Amino acid sequence: MKEDIKRVLLLFLHLPLMFHLLMYSFARNKKAIDEDVEVICKRRGIGYKGTFAIVYLLYSDNYYRNIFYNRIGSVPFLFTWYLPRAKDFFPCNNIGGGVYPAHPYATILNAKKIGKNFSFRQCTTLGNKRDGENTNGPIIGDNVNLGANVCIIGDIKIGNNVIVGAGAVVVKDVPDNVIIAGNPAKIIKKIEG
């Protein structure tokens, strides 16, 4: 842990990182960035808080950088080469705070809207049914947790407090407070509110 602290303190001397912190201080989505950092640090057992946590995550986690750059908007290449993002998996610009990418490999999140406290794993696809229909993606509610290899396709709505089991293919609307699984996905259990 002491080595991590030394590395992060040295990073404060680097101009590109300072530019990232400057972008953060003027961000419209500062509250959402703070919520993301809080959720990620809590789930990963990282004891840092505030700006120090942001610096640590920007330095150590290229998937968090995708979330950060999505929240900030356009970032000049001059600064992204220094802290590169992972393959961009966030075409969606309407995402609530508290995003948690558990294992975001091979993931595309092309949705109309994603609510707060959204958690997902590898090979997740949110998108449309046909090529070129970028406006017909799903709407994801708050507190939604997606397992690995989940596909949510089409102009559908996923309610609040929903857990989607691994490998599920969701092509119809899902109500609040349920666990769904299967191909095609079906309700397997209601969650007590």
Catalytic residues: 103
What are the backbone angles phi and psi of residue 92, rounded to the nearest 5°? -75, 130
Instruction: Tell me how far CA of residue 113 lies from CA of 20, 78, 109, 137, 151, in angstroms.
Output: 25, 30, 10, 8, 16
Tell me the C-alpha distance between 95 and 27, whole Å: 15
Secondary structure percentages of the chain, helix, strand, coil, to 5 = 30, 20, 50
Residue 146's DSSP bridge partners are: 164
C-beta of residue 122 within 8 angstroms of C-beta of residue 104: yes
Q: Which two tokens mark 38? A: 């809080």
Q: Which residue reads 């294992």 in tokens?
A: 103
Whats the size of the chain, residue-wise?
Answer: 193
